[in-house]
């Protein structure tokens, strides 16, 4: 028999097993990758939370700024409104006279002259006017009612329709359309600035300026009287006493004798209430 070859005998060996180290490495990589992803997710979540917080703060800041702007705007609007109201209260006798004069007339009743003024809106081509009763007393006393109005060299015929002797008021009607003056619904106050328009001594379109001195009690059943310091004379009777808002507050009636700066007027609401002409 042949002798065996020296050394290790060779025979058919099985395939080596798959190394365990590769699987372990893959597992470690997967765990690390998962941890990294988790960390990234946590960081992103925190960033998103921070961004939301920043956005909420920005919105809150914007709301505060907007509220501040709105408040400043409201304040400015209030100041503008207040300035407008103050401007409307500024005493401008020239503007008051310009607005009132077209509605004021010289009135002739018999031998007496005075002043009358239109009130309210014309109706069916007819205007209503007011004057002082003592201006038309002579005509009315003898049963007459016809008087003459004069304005800008034009003459108009008018009729006395009603009187209040106690309060020195007479109501006229004229078949013409005259612009009526607005009347105040507020009681006068001492110190209130006024303009008196009339025809003293026949001098038409005369304007005097003053203030309300006081509100006086009338006598012999008459209502209150407005005392004012604007200069008036015979011929002013029946003329309008007007406030800064171009509203009639009274009807000039008389002045104290042997004195200056004491004129009296019938409150316009006395006429408005009784005759419903305002």
Give the sign of the dihedral formed by CA 83, CA 89, CA 93, CA 94.
positive
Which conformational region is residue 257 in: left (phi greater than 0), alpha (psi within -120 to 50 degrees), or beta? beta
Q: How far apart are CA 67 and CA 62, in angstroms?
A: 8
The question of whether 205 is a catalytic residue gets the answer: no
153 in active site: no
The reply to whether 237 belongs to the active site is yes
Catalytic member of 103, 134, 213, 253: 134
Residue 102 CB coordination number (10 Å):
14
Q: Which of 199, 206, 213, 237 is catalytic?
A: 237
Instruction: Work out the number of other CB atoms within 10 angstroms of the CB of residue 76.
Output: 10
List of residues 6+ apart from 110 with CB closer than 8 A? 138, 139, 144
The answer to whether 171 and 153 have CB atoms below 8 angstroms apart is no
| Backbone angle region of 202, left / alpha / beta, with phi > 0 → left and psi within -120 to 50 → alpha | left
Per the residue annotation, which of 127, 168, 184, 199 is the catalytic one?
168
Residues acting as catalytic residues = 134, 168, 237
């Amino acid at each position: 028999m042949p002798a065996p070859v020296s050394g290790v005998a060779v025979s058919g060996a099985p395939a080596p097993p798959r190394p365990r180290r590769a699987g372990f490495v893959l597992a470690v990589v997967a765990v690390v990758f998962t941890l990294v992803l988790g960390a990234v997710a946590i960081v992103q979540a925190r960033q998103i939370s921070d961004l939301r917080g920043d956005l909420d703060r920005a919105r809150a800041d914007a709301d505060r700024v907007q509220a501040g702007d709105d408040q400043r705007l409201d304040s400015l609007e209030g100041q503008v409104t207040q300035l407008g109201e103050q401007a409307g209260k500024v005493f401008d006798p020239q503007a008051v006279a310009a607005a009132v004069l077209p509605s004021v007339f010289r009135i002739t009743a018999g031998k007496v002259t005075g002043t009358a003024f239109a009130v309210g809106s014309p109706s069916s081509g007819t205007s209503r006017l007011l004057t002082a009763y003592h201006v038309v007393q002579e005509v009315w006393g003898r049963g007459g009612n016809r008087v003459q109005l004069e304005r800008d060299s034009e003459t108009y015929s008018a009729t006395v329709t009603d009187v209040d002797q106690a309060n020195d008021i007479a109501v006229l009607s004229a078949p013409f359309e005259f612009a009526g003056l607005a009347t105040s619904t507020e009681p006068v106050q001492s110190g209130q600035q006024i303009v008196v328009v009339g025809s003293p001594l026949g001098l038409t379109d005369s304007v005097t300026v003053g203030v309300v001195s006081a509100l006086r009690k009338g006598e012999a059943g008459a209502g209150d009287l407005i005392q004012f310091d604007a200069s008036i004379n015979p011929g002013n009777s029946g003329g309008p006493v007007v406030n800064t808002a171009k509203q009639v507050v009274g009807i000039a009636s008389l002045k104290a004798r042997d004195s200056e700066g004491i004129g009296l007027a019938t409150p316009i609401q006395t006429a408005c209430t009784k005759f419903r002409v305002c």
